Chain A
Amino acid sequence: MSRYFTEDHEWIDVDGDIGTVGISDYAQGQLGDIVFVEVPEDGRRIAKGDEAAVVESVKAASDVYSPVSGTVLEGNAALTDEPALVNSDPEGEGWFFKITLSDTAELEELMDEIAYEAFVAKL
């Protein structure tokens, strides 16, 4: 399984053609206390870069873009009752949605963990 990151601070774990998407630890730290997450509906077709989810902190709402194109398998239902999972475990239990990739070649345009760490270090 490989993990990739976007410059907009989404991460995606890929296993075969199934990806799990969330926001990075850096992103949750910038947002502060998460009070609401809206995840995409099952079966929704999403193009890479589309707005796929909304994450709301006490202060502001932010869009979450899909790192890849594909069809949504499921949103993380646990976030409905416990949006703070995004703060406590952003790159684990706080995942947003799972997606079936339609073009795995899109992954080549994303950063790996080392490249993302270097990217964040410069912000």
Chain B
Amino acid sequence: MSDAATDPDDGFEPIEILTLPLDAWHRARGGRMVEFAGYHMPVQYDGIMAEHLWTRESAGLFDVSHMGQLTVTGEGVVAALETLMPADIAGLAMNRARYSLLLDDNGGILDDLMLTRQSEEQVYMVVNGATKYDDIAHMIDRLPDDVTLNLMEDHALLAVQGPQAVAAVARVIPGVEAMVFMQAGAFEWNGHALWISRSGYTGEDGVEISVPADAAEALADALVAQPEIRPIGLGARDSLRLEAGLPLYGHDLDPETTPVMADLGFALFKRRREAADFPGAERILAEREQGAVSKRVGLLVEGRQPVREGASVVDGDGSTVGRVTSGGFAPSVGAPIAMAYLPAAMAVPGTTVQLVQRGKVHHATVTAMPFVPHRYFRGVK
């Protein structure tokens, strides 16, 4: 028996694998540690299936400290960051978060990220772990000298996700329940300053908590002491985000993809489109008008066998026309699902396609995403 199709890594080969603040905490709780983005990270505790379903029913605690937490500070920081991404940061209220994309000069995606305005002169960002040093180099090259970039390496990042997440966290950190989706704010816990946003990447309601590294274990203990919250590994995080239709950088997004190809047109804000002043605007706006050559879609795969990243999408003649970029078994759907890039003409819900994996043909249907409805809390209506 041997691995035939484990997820390929991102070509990221660290000189040494680093240890994050909660490393011992995970090991003590039976987390199976693997190397991911240069760190030892827990891939699972009891099993991906049970952890996934627990998160959808109750709440999961995810350690996402491998991700890059940055503050970008200085006079003119908003205008400076807007030159690098298509978000309307100037139009963002204080303590509001947005999803955005770091773009290269050709409109290709260098990373996807969350940003929050903390003050007139400070923006907090969370970027992907495997890309954080490249992101920093890219930004330092392009930001003016009076803007300072700080990588918060002395902080851990905990995500609590699931329908019971906010009620449970509010018992530990009162006040988080007052926020709505994509709202953020400063909190205090046992004398430690926290930065919390009501967001996540599982499709569920929940929060992400930035905590000083020396308080991370105590906070994690306090959170999992709540009966609704269990520690969950990165394996379930991946199946949850796939069901939520959310792209993963290095798999579904890379410099060869643009926001229009990636079906992330919502990240192109009206003011920025009208001004056409973000990297690659000419190409991206043309794609927006005329449609991109290919597009990211969701696929429902027939049968029980998962079709994974790297499988080919073929047309009736057997010619390769696309590629699966994420795929696996979806525990909440009870069937295999995938994301793929398809030619625009085929990227229409209901279209049937053939996928080839290790010489075997699988049938799939293009479907609207998310596969599992989002349950973000947008306020009481």
Contact = CB atoms under 8 A, between A and B. Distances in A.
Contacts of B6: 59-61
A60 B3 contact: yes
Nearest to A60: B6
- What bracket does the count of chain B residues touching chain A fall in? 20 to 34
Q: Which of A8, A10, A62, A65 has the most chain B CB within a 10 Å cutoff?
A: A62
A23 B1 contact: yes
B49 interface: yes
Contacts of A62: 1-4
A46 interface: no
A65 B1 contact: yes
Contacts of A9: 1
Interface in A21-64: 23, 27, 32-33, 35-36, 38, 54-64
A84 to B, nearest CB: 9
Q: Which of A27, A55, A59, A60 has the most chain B CB within a 10 Å cutoff?
A: A59
A64 B1 CA distance: 4
B306 interface: yes
A83 interface: yes
A32 B306 contact: no
Contact of B1 (A8, A58, A59, A83): A8
A81 B166 CA distance: 37
Contact of B2 (A8, A33, A35, A38): A8
Interface string B212-241: 000000000000000000000001001100
Contacts of B4: 54, 60-63
28 contacts: A8-B1, A10-B1, A32-B44, A32-B47, A32-B49, A32-B235, A33-B47, A35-B49, A35-B336, A36-B306, A36-B329, A58-B49, A58-B329, A59-B235, A59-B238, A59-B328, A60-B4, A60-B6, A60-B7, A60-B308, A61-B5, A61-B6, A61-B308, A61-B358, A62-B2, A64-B1, A65-B2, A80-B304
Interface of B: 1-7, 43-44, 47-50, 52, 235, 238-239, 304-306, 308, 328-329, 331, 336, 358
Interface of A: 8-10, 23, 27, 32-33, 35-36, 38, 54-65, 80, 83
Give the top 8 A-B pairs by smallest Cβ distance, nearest first: A33-B49, A35-B329, A61-B5, A60-B6, A58-B48, A36-B305, A63-B4, A8-B1
Given A54-B4, A60-B5, 10 more contacts: A32-B44, A32-B47, A35-B49, A36-B306, A36-B329, A38-B305, A56-B306, A58-B52, A61-B3, A61-B4
